[in-house]
Structure 1
């Protein structure tokens, strides 16, 4: 028998056949709205692929994108892998030097960019060695450079069927944010992405805490809030298309615009990093839409960093249903979700409930996950013993591009090493307590920066907190807290320490975990994916304890 190939083309064809009339909308903060359908975008993606072929783009060629969450980016998600080329979304928030490195390292042949990035692209061009073709997305406002425009390419293309591809054809590549050195490249095949899409769809459609039963009656709405340059937008452009959900692409992120879209478009589910959720909860226009949001009860899936309990509570008060997901660039990305078993009873104690809700969660199907010690022995499921999360799954990248040493290190012992430190709970859940590079090693013992951040955030005057390990002559490292107060709030270092001492007295943390210093700032530095950039903080305050 002929083997049926697991390709994104076959997924896209199914979506066109079954959900052709379901809406896909591009509703940016500024500019013209576009309301389309899956059927229309299927044809446009075919035309785009043929237009790219006419311009010399062929199988295996790498096509980089610098774009917001636009409808053209959605088309590229299907068109580029569909023609046998390789899609390479670029993180628009990276430094120009890192972008040059990534594009050259990936050997991208094409760079498709939004008009907003035209000045940046002009600066990059002299340093890009492999790019032969530049294409602009003018977003209806007209081109700002002489490069070909994507709509013209779509118009000149013919709606030719996508080719039959082997499922092991590489579909996408992506790079880590480079927080511990140069960004590393990972690649994903059609088979890997189809399996990730199918399994994610099972989770979002059927798992308790994520499923929306009302969506069986009419198409529910998913808001693509995760940047599409961040690990395939967490896979949701493909997943929610396969589920037949209506999708909204909001362009460049704007908190006020986003809360309005949630209310007016009746958004049922979205996802993002904790910083984005915090920005929505503090958006000036939020009060105008709270009543509608409470009526809709949208799920907000937090990933990319730990969800603090206090942030989860604030989200719930507004009307959001906070949930947790976990993954990374190298894992396509989803590994776990904070779903609940059908027979599971919810804790009556509020603190226990939010501890359960904010845990990293349970593996989704086809993810083999363990928490292990340095010898790859599973740690006890006691909720106390720390170890590293290791995984095996069909969608974990098999290697780092052009880096055999890092590949060997990551895949030692036949497991992919995530670098995330966690405890294994008696019920099988995992709870990440830190990144291996962020855990504070003081006097030979580990201190969880995430747990300290979560406790500091319970202070009524605290908006955000980051805890870092700072060099110490005696202890090796000691914790230092960097705190952003709420607007108009006044709080002192002594008040933060006294607040934490309450948790020492209740037995939540040992006394030696108390920070040696508390620093107050107006804002915390963020990485290109919106996470708190502890690398910057560690460099900025590396001598703070020596000075004191």
Structure 2
């Protein structure tokens, strides 16, 4: 058979094809804006040329220790320059970056170091107690020793111990600032390993590829409209989905990373006022921190500040308060398995004319796919048939496209289950509105079934957040002999506020169908995971005993 003309003599070659890699962003930023601010950490400022040189030296120093393609380099650090640099220096070798969750305990860290086959650990001295114990556990379980490099950051609040053979700056001094680097030969190559914050059992290791990292970084730019001159405050942990790929996004736009070791309301307001911050990301817990800041921690906003939020669905009341205080909110949604945010509540200008509460409720919907995500559906998890776009029929949210993970490391069974039928199954339940926007209603394991009726805990929580005395709220199922399950609310009151369970229940009955309202209210702080999500499995256990 004669080959088609379009398939003859038109092959990919070095001139017309390069594997997509976020390393190209760094190379361009250093060449085009060499003197621009890349990273700010306290009084230290690194330009883009300096940052690239530091990343090259890191890569070179790791190479001298035998690190190469496919090797895992773990980093235990807050949002500081060393962790930002690792997002490039590790990739320059074709190695895989494993940014560790700084809030985890030693057993979890030891599991990740062992499961991910880490060969080098770069660790901040603030976490030396946890790391020391984790290394001892790893040694006892596997007999393995790691190369350990300390970060001796002068801005660390806790003294900590130095556990490694040298500190990070000395390690960089062993590397070559002219170390040559380029994109991988194959853009399917693994670039990072991120562990899910599982609530039961060992976490799963999510593997990202170079193509996905590049595309999600670009997707952030298109979605948020973030561009040159942006000064981004690191309130979102860089260990969480590689900071939603924003280390690479910021290199693409030659923006500035303003580091923040400890996230506090005062730290956020000070950075906006003193460091020129224009953008930040965070879960709703961070937004709550801002709107509930003490008067002495606040500063006047010198400009409108862009805030992107995701993780647990943000209550409409929180979004409304943020916008009233001068922050413009972009609501996104995603999971570790899709590189962070892959869905956005893409705003329509005509919605600006809505009343504030109605506008906030529109913004509380999760939305539509990022440009770089091929498809997003709400479907029956068994048949994979899309649900009607009626805003009522419940289904599972599913993803398909280039910003879906390669799979779970060393877990073919879980990978196969997650990709059943050619879609990534999120485990999140939602509805599909007539305009094509999705809205989450619950995790599949969190939905309450009372007398055969589905109750969305998110819907009930959204009402509770409107109560002026409530700071935080979470709702779970409580077993009930008659109805099977009924809602149980766990509530944290604002400082100085007092309320009774009867008052809270009466408030919900004014805003919800009565069968959806909590029958029990428990007051106190909410248990949270290391990434700030409410631990509903803990609350479900407590709900059983609630009277």
Structures share fold, TM-score greater than 0.5: yes
- Are 2:439 and 1:439 aligned? no
Provide the C-alpha distance between the structure 2 equivalents of 1:305 and 1:455, rounded to a whole number of angstroms.
15
Backbone CA RMSD of aligned residues: 1.8
Kindly indicate whether the alpha-carbon contact (under 8 Å) linking 1:138 and 1:149 is maintained by their aligned counterparts in 2.
yes
Q: Mark the CA change 1:436 to 1:286 in structure 2 (over 3 Å): closer, same or farther.
A: farther
Shift of 1:247: 2.0
- Are 2:537 and 1:535 aligned? yes
Q: Please point out which of 458, 463, 469 is paired with 2:477.
A: 469
Q: Please point out which of 153, 164, 172 is paired with 2:192.
A: 172
Provide the C-alpha distance between the structure 1 equivalents of 2:296 and 2:417, rounded to a whole number of angstroms.
46
Provide the C-alpha distance between the structure 1 equivalents of 2:480 and 2:145, rounded to a whole number of angstroms.
47
* Alignment correspondent of 1:427: 435
Shift of 1:464: 0.9
**Cα distance per residue 1:6-34 (max 9 Å; x no partner):** 12222221222223222123335xxxx31
**Cα distance per residue 1:337-368 (max 9 Å; x no partner):** 122246x4434233221111111122111321
Shift of 1:543: 2.8
Select between 142-151 and 324-333 the one with higher mean Cα deviation.
142-151
Select between 112-121 and 254-263 the one with higher mean Cα deviation.
254-263
Provide the C-alpha distance between the structure 2 equivalents of 1:502 and 1:456, rounded to a whole number of angstroms.
11
Kindly indicate whether the alpha-carbon contact (under 8 Å) linking 1:276 and 1:530 is maintained by their aligned counterparts in 2.
no
Provide the C-alpha distance between the structure 2 equivalents of 1:350 and 1:229, rounded to a whole number of angstroms.
35
Provide the C-alpha distance between the structure 2 equivalents of 1:255 and 1:350, rounded to a whole number of angstroms.
24
TM-score by length of structure 1 reads 0.91
* Alignment correspondent of 1:506: none
Q: How many residues align?
A: 521
Q: Mark the CA change 1:513 to 1:345 in structure 2 (over 3 Å): closer, same or farther.
A: closer
SS at match of 1:267: coil
Task: Report matched runs for 1:35-50 at 5 Å.
Answer: 35-50=45-60
Select between 274-283 and 362-371 the one with higher mean Cα deviation.
274-283
Q: Which runs of 5+ in 1 are unaligned?
A: 206-210, 504-508
Kindly indicate whether the alpha-carbon contact (under 8 Å) linking 2:106 and 2:131 is maintained by their aligned counterparts in 1.
no
SS at match of 2:281: strand
Task: Report matched runs for 1:197-212 at 5 Å.
Answer: 197-205=217-225
**Cα distance per residue 1:148-177 (max 9 Å; x no partner):** 211111112112111452222211011100
SS at match of 1:305: coil
**Cα distance per residue 1:125-148 (max 9 Å; x no partner):** 122134521111111479633432
Provide the C-alpha distance between the structure 2 equivalents of 1:148 and 1:442, rounded to a whole number of angstroms.
59
* Alignment correspondent of 1:357: 363
* Alignment correspondent of 2:305: 298
- Are 2:80 and 1:70 aligned? yes
Shift of 1:56: 2.4
SS at match of 1:489: coil
Provide the C-alpha distance between the structure 2 equivalents of 1:270 and 1:164, rounded to a whole number of angstroms.
29
Task: Report matched runs for 1:18-417 at 5 Å.
Answer: 18-28=32-42, 33-128=43-138, 129=142, 130-140=144-154, 144-159=162-177, 160-166=179-185, 167-205=187-225, 219-284=229-294, 288-289=298-299, 291=300, 293=301, 295-341=302-348, 344-367=350-373, 368-374=375-381, 375-417=383-425
Provide the C-alpha distance between the structure 1 equivalents of 2:184 and 2:493, rounded to a whole number of angstroms.
54
Kindly indicate whether the alpha-carbon contact (under 8 Å) linking 1:220 and 1:246 is maintained by their aligned counterparts in 2.
yes
Shift of 1:465: 0.6
SS at match of 2:206: strand
Shift of 1:395: 1.8
Shift of 1:92: 1.1
Q: Which runs of 5+ in 2 are unaligned?
A: 1-11
Kindly indicate whether the alpha-carbon contact (under 8 Å) linking 1:331 and 1:395 is maintained by their aligned counterparts in 2.
yes
Kindly indicate whether the alpha-carbon contact (under 8 Å) linking 2:224 and 2:330 is maintained by their aligned counterparts in 1.
no
**Cα distance per residue 1:211-253 (max 9 Å; x no partner):** 5xxx66xx12111211011111111111122122222111232
Kindly indicate whether the alpha-carbon contact (under 8 Å) linking 2:320 and 2:357 is maintained by their aligned counterparts in 1.
no
Kindly indicate whether the alpha-carbon contact (under 8 Å) linking 2:408 and 2:415 is maintained by their aligned counterparts in 1.
yes
* Alignment correspondent of 1:457: 465
* Alignment correspondent of 1:517: 520
SS at match of 1:109: strand
Provide the C-alpha distance between the structure 2 equivalents of 1:518 and 1:148, rounded to a whole number of angstroms.
53
Select between 139-148 and 271-280 the one with higher mean Cα deviation.
139-148
Shift of 1:182: 2.0
Provide the C-alpha distance between the structure 2 equivalents of 1:476 and 1:20, rounded to a whole number of angstroms.
64
Provide the C-alpha distance between the structure 2 equivalents of 1:315 and 1:348, rounded to a whole number of angstroms.
17
Provide the C-alpha distance between the structure 2 equivalents of 1:315 and 1:341, rounded to a whole number of angstroms.
19
SS at match of 1:519: strand
